[in-house]
Structure 1
Amino acid sequence: MTSAMNIDAHQHYWDPARGDYGWLTPEMKALYRVFGPDDLAPLRESVGVQRTVVVQAAPTVDETRYLLALARNDESIAGVVGWVPLDSADAPALIDEFAREPKFKAVRPMLQDLPDDTWIEHAPRPDAIERLIAHDLAFDALIFARHVPSLIKFVATYPTLRIVVDHGAKPPIRNGIDAGWQPWADGIAQLAALPQKLHCKLSGLATEARENWTDETLQPYVAHLIEQFGAARLMWGSDWPVLNLNGSYTAWHATAKKLTAHLEKAQQDAIFGANARAFYRL
Structure 2
Amino acid sequence: MGEDRQATFGSDGSLDTETPPEAREGTTDWGEPKADGETDGGYNRYDVSSLLQKAVRRSDEEVAAWAAWELARSGYAWNLWDRLNLYVVEDLRAGQNVALLVERYETLATDRWEPDSWKGRVCAIHAALACARAESSREASNADEFFRNAAAARAEARESDDDPAVDFPVGDLEVGGEFDVAFDKHTADGSRLDRGDRFFKLFGARVGPEGEDEQSARWQRLNMALSDIDYDEAEVAHAVEPVSPDDRWSDPMEFDGDNDD
TM-score interval (norm. to shorter): under 0.3
Higher strand share: 1
Look at both structures and tell me which one has the larger radius of gyration over its CA atoms: 2
- Relative to the length of structure 2, the TM-score reads 0.25
- Relative to the length of structure 1, the TM-score reads 0.23
